[in-house]
Structure 1
Amino acid sequence: MRFRTIAILRAYEPQRAADLADQCWAIGMDLVEVPVQGSPGWAALEAVAERAQGRAFGAGTVLSADDARRAAGMGASVIISPDIDADVVEAALNVNAVPLPGVMTPTDVGQAARLGLDTCKLFPASVVGPAWLGAIKGPFPAMNFIAVGGVDLGNAAGFIKSGATGVALGSSIETLLSLDDPAAFIAELHDLVE
């Protein structure tokens, strides 16, 4: 599964999350993520799951193995975490979900590699900046990175051009969807990855 573009639908009520998910899938985004912080997040994930009909969605901000299993039980195919936790990674793998842990240091990336992962999320991407990607690829050339956190319409392409294999848009998702042709913007990002 490729994660060139991810829509993060944080803090939306369930119906709105499901409607936005439909729009994000329609414009060609690879994955819809619903952070599962608290009962509102779980309710939104359930609404997106009901709407998915085979389209890819994941649970975000997963901090425990139990939550990884719960999300996978609801149909989430990707388990996304802000940090790298071996228990969460193992739980995701055991339920045939893709773990996508957050990394920010070489130690984090090394741990991800030792756990057998080939893709992580750089988080928070805007704090370390695109140059981090070129630097970390030296010692970890086989690792792929999705830029997450502070990525928006203005800097997404820059992260990909610097070596990210994908980007996640969160607070800017409604701005994206309000463009005259949001599908063209997503297609341009995908073309940069390929």
Structure 2
Amino acid sequence: MIDNAQFSEMFAGAPIMAILRGMGTERSLAVATTAWDLGIDVVELPIQTPEDIEALKSVAAAARERGKIVGAGTVVTIEHVRVALTCGAAFTVSPGFDLEVVRASSESGLPPMPGVATATEVQLALSSGLTWLKAFPASLLGAPWIRAMHGPFPNAEFVTTGGMDAANAEEFLLGGARVVAIGSALEDPLQLPKLAALLKKDGPRGPEVL
């Protein structure tokens, strides 16, 4: 049975993940360092180009020195799994659900987080042993989708990705998402400080978030 319960410990510090897409090595290191300094412990680097792979290697090495966690994203082939492992990634993230890729990642010691967008995909992932799932594209699915899925699938832990930023993160967390992953919005340097401020806000929150 495949398992990805390790994400519960990875995201125990903060329900936010920074996705460093196509930033190159130098900027990826800088943004990752800022995220870590602000208390956002987990970052993901999609690996779609040779430059992305070099950036992942560098950020993963820096993460090991600080005891932080870096994952590889847009993992859609078994070869991507091999690359992620070689680069030092701690987990993989995929935009969709491919059982072969999920299995290869798990067998390599990298907890896989597949993408889901329908009840059928959620049910298939859960029946395969996976509880942590990437809801993608979250901005199109909407926070009500998270609440609706928790009805028949209360054990699903959703990480919302796609169109997330500091303005809508709280809505999704209150809606039941366990983690909000911020990607393209990080082109704005104010996003990370705003997200860090969100983590410190007082008041009621959704189950086991913030």
> Same fold by TM (over 0.5)?
yes
Q: 2:53 aligns with which of 42, 51, 62?
A: 42
Q: 2:121 aligns with which of 80, 83, 108?
A: 108
- % of aligned pairs identical? 39
TM-score by length of 2: 0.85
What is the alpha-carbon distance in structure 2 between the residues aligned to residue 135 and residue 67 of structure 1? 32
1:66 aligns with 2:86: no
Residues 90-129 of structure 1 correspond to what in structure 2 (within 5 A)?
A: 90-129=103-142
Per the alignment, in what secondary structure is the counterpart of residue 83 of structure 1? coil
Per the alignment, in what secondary structure is the counterpart of residue 184 of structure 2? coil
What is the alpha-carbon distance in structure 2 between the residues aligned to residue 170 and residue 38 of structure 1? 17
Match of 1:176 in 2: 191
Q: Structure 1 residues 141-150 or 87-96, which shifts more?
A: 87-96
The number of residue pairs the alignment matches comes to: 191
**8 Å CA contact retained: 1:124, 1:150:** yes
What is the alpha-carbon distance in structure 2 between the residues aligned to residue 112 and residue 49 of structure 1? 27
Q: Structure 1 residues 159-168 or 22-31, which shifts more?
A: 22-31
Q: Name structure 2 gaps, 5 residues minimum.
A: 1-8
Q: Name structure 1 gaps, 5 residues minimum.
A: none
Computed over aligned residues only, the root mean square deviation of the Cα atoms, in angstroms, reads 1.7
TM-score by length of 1: 0.92
What is the alpha-carbon distance in structure 1 between the residues aligned to residue 119 and residue 200 of structure 2? 31
**8 Å CA contact retained: 1:33, 1:58:** yes
Deviation at 1:73, TM superposition (A): 2.3
**8 Å CA contact retained: 2:131, 2:156:** yes
Match of 2:199 in 1: 186
**Runs of 4+ displaced beyond 3 Å:** 186-189
**8 Å CA contact retained: 1:28, 1:187:** no
Match of 1:167 in 2: 180
